[in-house]
Amino acid sequence: MKLTRDDWVQAAYQALLLGGPRAVAVANLAEGLGVTRGSFYHYFNDRHQLLVAALEKWEGEATEAFIRNASAESEPVERLRRLFAQVFQEPTDLAVVERRILANKGEDDAVAEVVDRVVARRRAFLADCYQALGYDETEAEDRATVAYLAFTGWLYLVEPDDERSTGATQGIAALVRELLLPTE
């Protein structure tokens, strides 16, 4: 069985989703893929490169895709509404994955680098939306920070398949919209 680089990245990404950065272990991935580790070294120099590739896939799916979707709206308030609707939705495995990745930031330079980039990108998008609404740069950045803090706090409150989380998510989403979107 000839594996591609994408096969390895996808396997690492699945491991990342299921167990966080620590679960991206070359030997376990090779076993799961039914190959030797030699295939891995054809595409990557070390685990660090594979972990970065998996984290970049997460970055694309958990940040860039959300921003692209929200950016489809022409009005900044509608971009924020769409973004908040996406991220403050019913609890999913995304919340668990985000928690695992954030929890490992201080333990691995690869995780820290990608997490820092993701947080900066998310906050910049939010700040751009707030500036487009007429807030000055400082207030736009402050609002972006509060919105992002609301999201990261939400991550630690919700659990997939927990009935209490469903009600909490709906209430939190409504409150976030009320507090962080301008009144019309």
**pLDDT tens, residue by residue, 87-132:** 877 656 677 788 888 888 888 888 899 999 999 999 999 999 999 9
Residue 42 to residue 36: CA distance in whole angstroms:
11
- With contact defined as beta carbons under 8 Å apart, do 100 and 68 qualify? no
Whether the model clears a pTM of 0.75, i.e. scores above it, the answer is yes
Q: What domains can you pick out in the chain, each with its CATH number?
A: 52-180 (1.10.357)
Is pLDDT of 74 > 90? yes
Burial degree of 83 (CB within 10 A; 0-12, 13-18, 19+): buried
Phi and psi angles of residue 35, each rounded to the nearest 5 degrees, phi first: -135, 170
- With contact defined as beta carbons under 8 Å apart, do 160 and 95 qualify? yes
Burial degree of 72 (CB within 10 A; 0-12, 13-18, 19+): exposed
